[in-house]
Structures are given as C-alpha cells and as structure tokens.
Amino acid sequence: MTNISYCSTRGHNEQVDAAIAIARGLAPDGGLYVPLTFPEFAHSDFAGCETIADTAFALVRPFVEGSVLTEDLRAICNEAFNFPIPLVPLIDADASRLSMLELFHGPTAAFKDVGARFLAACMERIEGESNQPLKILVATSGDTGGAVAAAFHGRRRVEVDVFYPAGQVSARQEQQLTCWGDNVRAFRVSGRFDDCQRLVKEVFQDNDLNERHRFSSANSINLGRLLPQMVYYAHTAMTAWNATGEAPDFIIPTGNLGNALACVWARRAGLPIGEIVLATNANRTIPDYLDDGAWRPRDSISTLASAMDVGNPSNMERLRGLYPDLDEIRDQVSAHAVTDAQIAQQIKKDFKRFGQIWCPHTATAMFVYDQLPATRLTQRYWIAVATAHPAKFDTIVEPLIGQSVPVPTALERLLHLPSQAHDVAAQLAALRPYYT
Ligand SMILES: *Cc1c(COP(=O)(O)O)cnc(C)c1O
C-alpha cells in the first residue's frame, strides 16, 4: 500500500504525514486533517489478529507509514490497547440479535480512554528530545478531559490544560478532571462547553501566546484520537464476520461525531460494517441536517447525556469533506434524537428487562434500537455501543433504578485523590496570567 498523506478539510495544498497532523491537531488554516486516500483492506489482512492490539497494528499501520511513528507503532498499540473491549451479547432471540460493545473498561471508564491513550503514546514519541514542553489544551464536556489527563499524566515533555464548564459535569467527572496535578492543570470555566471550545481556539490563534509557547490539542478533532477509534470497530466487525459471515450494524451515541466518524472511516477502508445509526441527545443539529439538508449549528443545550451536549459537531466538517453530497451522507449514516425523558425511561426499562444498567449516553443508543422498525431488527446483527460506565453518572442513574451502581476499581481509586481547579471567566484575558 502507498503511504497515506493528510490534508486540511479547507484546502488540499499542503500535504503532511500522520505524525505532523497529530502534532498539530488543527491544520494551519483552521480545518481538520483528513486522509487524502484510504487503504483498501481485504479481510485476509486481519488473519492472525488475535488481540485488539494486533488488529490495531494491522489497521493503523498504513495510516502512519512513512512517518516517525512507524518504527514504534507496535509499542504504541500495545500501550494504548491494554484493557479489554468486549462484545457482550444482550439479546439472542430467533428474530433479533443485539450485542453491546463495551468501551468503558479503561482507566477513566469511558471510550475516550482509547483515543487519549493512543494519542499520548504518539505525542511523547513525536516530541523526541525537544526542550520546550508541548502544551496540550483540551476543552471537555466531561469525559474527554479526564481521559486525556489520565493518558498524559506523568508523561515527559508534554503538559495538559483541561477546560470544563462549571456546574455542567457530574461530581465524579469533575474529580477525574481535577485529581492529577504534576503536568496536568484543570480550569473551571464559567460558561458552557462551547465557550470552552471557543477559548481553546482563541489561545491557538493568539500571536502573543504562540510566540512564547507551543500549543497543541487533544480534542476529538485530533487525528491521533480518530485512528485508534477505528480499531474497535474493525476488531468487532472482523470478529462478527468470522463467526457469522455477516457485517454487523452499529448504533453509536453521538456528540461531536468523533466516535461515529471513526466507524465510517473503518467501513470506507473495507471493513465489514453494515449500517451506522447515530443516537444523539436533544442537541439535534445532526438529525435536523439529515432531515432537511440545512446545516444549522447552534448553542448546545444541557441534557442527561452531557458528554454529548454539542451544538456544533466539529467532525461533521470531515464527514462532509468525504461525502460532499447530502444524499451520500444519508447513505452513510442515519440519526435520531433522544430526549431526556426518553433516556430516563430507557434506563429504568432496561434495568427491569435485562438487569443491565446503562449510562445516559448508552441509553440513547438503546432507545434508538427499540424504535427500529421490526424489518430492520430481524435478520440483522445489531451492535449498540456502550460509551461509558454508569458509575460515572451515579447521581442520574441511581435514583432511576433505585439502587447504587457498583464502582469499577480504577475509578474508585481516582475518586479518593485530592483535587484542584482554577476558576476562570470564559474570556482569553482571564487565561493570560496562566501563560506567562
Ligand atoms: C464523548 C462521549 C460521547 C460522544 O462521542 P463523540 O465522539 O463526541 O460523538 C458519547 N458518550 C460518552 C460517554 C462520551 O464521553
């Protein structure tokens, strides 16, 4: 396979390799990096892949070939994919089959651990022996920041600043943003997630600050987060294909579209993946766009599935770059919005039905599954993506099911560490003293 180059969604003039795209985060023109071409995998390319780290190595290799990451890729994959990502059967009746893809067994109990760990492993290597530390800025609606902080904490030559909206993340999420210290700082911003995103953009664009510091991002816009997210779709799809000869359909809880876009990319690279269905919360920008073709980004609204509270999903720019035609996009994905009342009702219902406890994000996927017409349920193999452990959202989930949610060991440990955050207004001026 030939080496893959990356260009900005806003212009194809400059082509860079994967390591440069990952180091930069955003392209200089403000666009997002996308592959100029995709590899064409045959199913036999994954023969002999037993662990998910094996699949990671086989899948990601052509995407980074020719860059400084090639040599260490095996080690990077082993570091990033060192926790289980099981596919757990839930329904197996004659007419319908559903499994849960559990992405929440990493250090901070949400799927963003996967991308963050891969990115951190890449960044440390890309940085080599440079003497000025790279400052990684992360705007988070809850889970991103914790995953990135955990993944980078203690790594050399990189520092992390996390920005999160005051009062809009759960107490346990906040603890996972603020418990690190060392090379990780937490900023509690008076505003919403979109304000945090805007602040980070303003820092990136400020000449004065950029003369004195080197900044980069680790948001879901970073290529180094998307590449590893393709891996669990590839691994799951190959496992299902080898067992049944079928290409499974996925239902994916969606906010900024990073997780689902990785699934689209995996299918584009030849993996046996059927339909891709997006479940959003009441932030309806994507479902509305697919309905009437008008792209109307808006302020986000707060919902129970707070890690999906995104009114202007950045990765749509990548999807529209790949499929410029609305009808092509409609062939790639469908999308359904789920209200808070429906989320709450689904959590209760499935606790009764299956004895299973969902986080509010996972519940959106289960609601969408239950709404599928019977013809789409039968004869297809569905996989719902479980993006976080319910123990992260105990204050929402426990009153609904009337009992407490057991806390995974890794999470339990973090909850007992001391925490610290800097309170700042949602203005660039408020940040300057922290970048002297
Ligand atoms: C971030 C997040 C999502 C949304 O993923 P996107 O890549 O932003 O679409 C869903 N669920 C959980 C638990 C998350 O943390």
Position 303 pLDDT exceeds 80: yes
Q: What percent of the chain has pLDDT over 70?
A: 99
Grade residue 128 by pLDDT with cuts at 50, 70 and 90.
Answer: confident
pLDDT at position 255? 96
Mean pLDDT value of segment 36-60: 96
pLDDT at position 371? 96
Which atom in ligand 1 lies closest to the alpha carbon of residue 258? 7
**To test ligand 1's pocket by mutation, which of 227, 256, 392 has the most ligand atoms within 8 angstroms of CB?**
256
pLDDT tens, position by position, 51-66: 999 999 999 999 999 9
Considering the domain boundaries, does residue 282 fall inside one? yes
Considering the domain boundaries, does residue 427 fall inside one? no
pLDDT tens, position by position, 245-262: 999 999 999 999 999 999
Which atom in ligand 1 lies closest to the alpha carbon of residue 361? 11
Encode burial over 240-262: b for 16+ CB neighbours within 10 A, e otherwise: bbeeeeebbbbbbbbbbbbbbbb
DSSP state at residue 334: E
Give me ligand 1 centre to Cα 131, in Å.
Answer: 34
pLDDT at position 143? 73
Give the span between the Cα atoms of 351 and 354, in whole angstroms.
6
Max distance between CA atoms of the chain, in angstroms, equals 64
Nearest CA to 149 out of 122, 181, 126, 109 is that of 181
Query: Worst-scoring range by mean pLDDT, 6-10, 139-143, 179-183, 327-331?
Result: 139-143
Mean pLDDT value of segment 35-53: 95
Nearest CA to 19 out of 75, 68, 56, 74 is that of 68
Considering the domain boundaries, does residue 22 fall inside one? no
Residue nearest (by alpha carbon) to ligand 1 atom 1: 307
Cβ-Cβ contacts under 8 Å for 347 (sequence gap 6 or more): 357, 358, 360, 363, 397, 400, 401
Considering the domain boundaries, does residue 59 fall inside one? no
Mean pLDDT value of segment 148-168: 93
Give me ligand 1 centre to Cα 95, in Å.
Answer: 30
Residue nearest (by alpha carbon) to ligand 1 atom 14: 307
Considering the domain boundaries, does residue 191 fall inside one? no
Query: Which residues form the domain of 307?
Result: 84-109+224-406
**To test ligand 1's pocket by mutation, which of 112, 197, 263 has the most ligand atoms within 8 angstroms of CB?**
112
| CATH number of the structural domain spanning residue 277 | 3.40.50.1100
| Average confidence score pLDDT of the chain | 94
Q: Are 76 and 359 in contact (CB under 8 A)?
A: no
Give me ligand 1 centre to Cα 308, in Å.
Answer: 5
Give the span between the Cα atoms of 112 and 173, in whole angstroms.
13
Residue nearest (by alpha carbon) to ligand 1 atom 7: 258
Grade residue 1 by pLDDT with cuts at 50, 70 and 90.
Answer: low
Considering the domain boundaries, does residue 26 fall inside one? no
Which atom in ligand 1 lies closest to the alpha carbon of residue 257? 9
pLDDT at position 56? 98
**To test ligand 1's pocket by mutation, which of 259, 261, 357, 364 has the most ligand atoms within 8 angstroms of CB?**
259
Total domains present in the chain: 1
Position 406 pLDDT exceeds 80: yes
pLDDT tens, position by position, 170-180: 888 899 999 99
Nearest CA to 41 out of 55, 51, 27 is that of 55
Which atom in ligand 1 lies closest to the alpha carbon of residue 141? 1
Residues having CB closer than 6 A to ligand 1 are: 110, 112, 143, 220, 253-260, 307-308, 361, 387-388
Give me ligand 1 centre to Cα 259, in Å.
Answer: 7
**To test ligand 1's pocket by mutation, which of 222, 263, 387, 392 has the most ligand atoms within 8 angstroms of CB?**
387
**SS3 state at 205:** helix
pLDDT tens, position by position, 85-121: 999 999 988 778 999 999 999 999 999 999 999 999 9
pLDDT at position 375? 86
Residue nearest (by alpha carbon) to ligand 1 atom 8: 256
Give start and end residues of each alpha helix (H) in 9-111.
18-24, 52-64, 73-80
Give me ligand 1 centre to Cα 141, in Å.
Answer: 9
Considering the domain boundaries, does residue 19 fall inside one? no
Give me ligand 1 centre to Cα 71, in Å.
Answer: 31
Mean pLDDT value of segment 343-356: 97
Considering the domain boundaries, does residue 92 fall inside one? yes
Position 421 pLDDT exceeds 80: yes
Cβ-Cβ contacts under 8 Å for 32 (sequence gap 6 or more): 8, 9, 26, 221, 314, 315, 317, 318
**To test ligand 1's pocket by mutation, which of 101, 111, 333 has the most ligand atoms within 8 angstroms of CB?**
111
- Reported as type and span, the H/E element at residue 108 is none
